[in-house]
Structure formats: C-alpha cells, structure tokens
C-alpha cells in the first residue's frame, strides 16, 4: 500500500471535550514572513559511500492501543470510526521508524544542514514519528489541523519549550543546540500524540521506512559504528554494528531489534 501519514492510525468512537492547552507561547501564523535562511553551511558530507540495509524486529508485536478521542471532538470528527495507534510497526519483518545513525567514526565537525526539518501535526497525529536532525538545524513545526495542538518536547540536555498552535496553518521554528537521543515530544491536549526527536552531531543517519529499510548516504571512507534505535523500544534496546566503507562503496548492514 502507499504510505500515508496516518496509515498507522485505525478507528474507534467519539467522546466529549476535555483538555486545555498546557500554557506556552502562541506562535506566529505561517503567513508571517519567512525567517531568513541560515548562512549556507559548508558541505557536511563530501563522502561518496553509502550504507543500506534493513532493520528487522524480533519479538511479539504489541497490540495496537485504542485512542480515547475524548480530548477533542475535532479529532473525533477526523476519525469517525475511531482511532488506534501502533507504535511498533512491523511489515514483512521490518521495523518502521527506526533511527539508524553513525554513532562513532564520523570525526570532525559537521555544521547543521541549511534545510529545515519538518514535524507536522495532521489528523491529530505527528508526521513523522521519528524526527532526526543535526544540532543547530532548524525544526519547522506545523499545525495542519483545524484544532489546537501544543508542542511540548521534554529534553534532558537541551532547553525545553512548549508552543501552542491554535490554528490550522500555523508554523513555529525551533532548534536544539546539543546532541541528544530520543527527546519525547507530546501534545498536552491530545495525550496519545507522541513523537521522538533525536539531535545528532553528524548528518549520517536515516529513518527506516514502512518495510524497515534505510540508506545512509554521503559517507566518507572510514570505519563506523552504526546504531539502530526505536523510540518506543527505547535506548536500552538499541543495537549497533561495525562497518568499514571505501570511497564510492554501497555497503550493506542489516540489524535486528528485539522486542
Ligand atoms: Cu494535539
């Protein structure tokens, strides 16, 4: 099937209104003038090697969680048959939403890419569920829903923030200046909304697609430790592999996460 943002959200019933937004500044609408693009960063990845593979899941896939849409009739309206959330998404043995990144071996400093990373709120869910970015890179947070969302990451190292976006089309720009794994992001209005942001010190990473496959591109020749980590399974379940690549090489690395 084709990938849709809410492909992992199924269906349930509707319920009454409760929550309020957990404080936080209101942000400008998207119509506001775009902020200036950061000065062009030097090419962060001059390499020509790549690492591709599949992250498999070994374990029992947890049952989908039924979402109580009681917090917001507008979300209930978007999911008339109800909503279920599958945070461990396995297809053909492959695990989706796994961050695969170069944990060690990428020496030197890598400036933040100039392009923004997008975290969208759409259908009372996040897209994507696993956000990966480089320290200092801009994170654009968008509300594509006609309802209030607030974006509340809870980092341990970086600065916490809580931004309300009451209207459809609103966008906010944020960044994290230090590397940090698996920062949980939630919406205080809709407690089922959950995503993870990982801030890395190099641009050599990829997030697995629906079938668990990934490709990390632009690697210089070298010996690397590559780790795979899934937000819901957590850091304790991360697995790593060692791999050496030559210039221009398309290397293969498969990893397995246990449930
Ligand atoms: Cu929300």
In a domain, 15, yes or no: no
Q: How far is the CA of 169 from the centre of ligand 1 (A)?
A: 14
pLDDT by residue (tens digit) across 160-208?
999 999 999 999 999 999 999 999 999 999 999 999 999 999 999 999 9
| Ligand 1 centroid – CA 149 distance (Å) | 4
Assess if residue 11 is contained within a domain.
no
pLDDT at 32: 44
Neighbour tally for 60: CB within 10 Å: 8
Average pLDDT on 4-19 reads: 41
- Which residues, including other chains, have CB under 8 Å from residue 109's CB and lie 6 or more apart? 201
Contact 171, 149 (CB under 8 A): no
On whether residue 19 sits in a domain, the answer given is: no
116: CATH: 2.60.40.420
Quote the ligand 1 centre to 211 CA distance (angstroms): 27
Q: Rounded to the nearest whole angstrom, what is the distance from the C-alpha of residue 150 to the centroid of ligand 1?
A: 6
Residues 6+ apart with CB under 8 A from 240: 103, 225, 226, 227, 228, 255
**Contacting residues for 82 by C-beta, under 8 A, at least 6 apart:** 10, 11, 12, 13, 14, 66, 67, 69
231 CA distance to ligand 1 middle (Å): 19
Separation of 22 CA from ligand 1 center, angstroms?
11
**111 lies in which domain range?**
25-30+39-258
Tens digit of pLDDT for each residue in 25-45? 545 454 444 444 444 444 445
How far is the centre of ligand 1, averaged over its atoms, from the C-alpha of 18 (Å)?
Answer: 12
8 located within any domain = no
* Total number of domains in the chain: 1
For residue 140, the model assigns a pLDDT of 98
The answer as to whether 5 is a domain residue is: no
Q: pTM for the whole thing?
A: 0.83
| Residue 75 domain flag | yes
Segment 224-241 shows an average pLDDT of 98
Q: How far is the CA of 129 from the centre of ligand 1 (A)?
A: 14
| Whole-angstrom distance, CA of residue 121 vs CA of residue 116 | 16
Q: Would you say residue 73 lies in a domain?
A: yes
In a domain, 4, yes or no: no
């Amino acid at each position: 099937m084709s990938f849709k943002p809410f492909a992992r959200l199924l269906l349930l019933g509707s319920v009454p209104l409760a929550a309020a937004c957990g404080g936080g500044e209101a942000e400008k609408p998207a119509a506001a003038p775009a902020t200036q693009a950061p000065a062009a960063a030097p090419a962060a990845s001059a390499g020509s090697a790549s690492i591709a593979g599949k992250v498999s899941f070994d374990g029992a896939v947890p049952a989908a969680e039924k979402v109580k849409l009681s917090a917001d009739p507008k979300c209930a309206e978007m999911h008339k048959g109800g909503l279920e959330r599958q945070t461990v998404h396995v297809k053909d043995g492959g695990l989706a939403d796994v961050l695969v990144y170069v944990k060690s071996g990428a020496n030197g400093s890598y400036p933040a890419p100039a392009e923004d990373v997008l975290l969208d709120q759409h259908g009372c869910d996040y897209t994507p569920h696993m956000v990966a970015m480089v320290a200092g890179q801009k994170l654009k947070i968008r509300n594509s829903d006609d309802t209030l969302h607030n974006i509340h990451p809870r980092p341990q190292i970086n600065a916490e923030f809580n931004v309300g976006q009451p209207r459809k089309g609103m966008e906010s720009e944020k960044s994290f200046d230090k590397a940090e794994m698996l920062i949980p992001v939630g919406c205080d209005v809709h407690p089922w909304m959950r995503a993870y942001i990982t801030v890395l010190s190099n641009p050599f990473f990829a997030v697995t697609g629906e079938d668990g496959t990934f490709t990390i591109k632009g690697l210089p020749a070298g010996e690397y430790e590559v780790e795979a980590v899934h937000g819901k399974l957590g850091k304790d379940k991360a697995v790593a592999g060692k791999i050496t690549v030559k210039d221009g090489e398309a290397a293969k690395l498969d990893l397995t996460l246990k449930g």
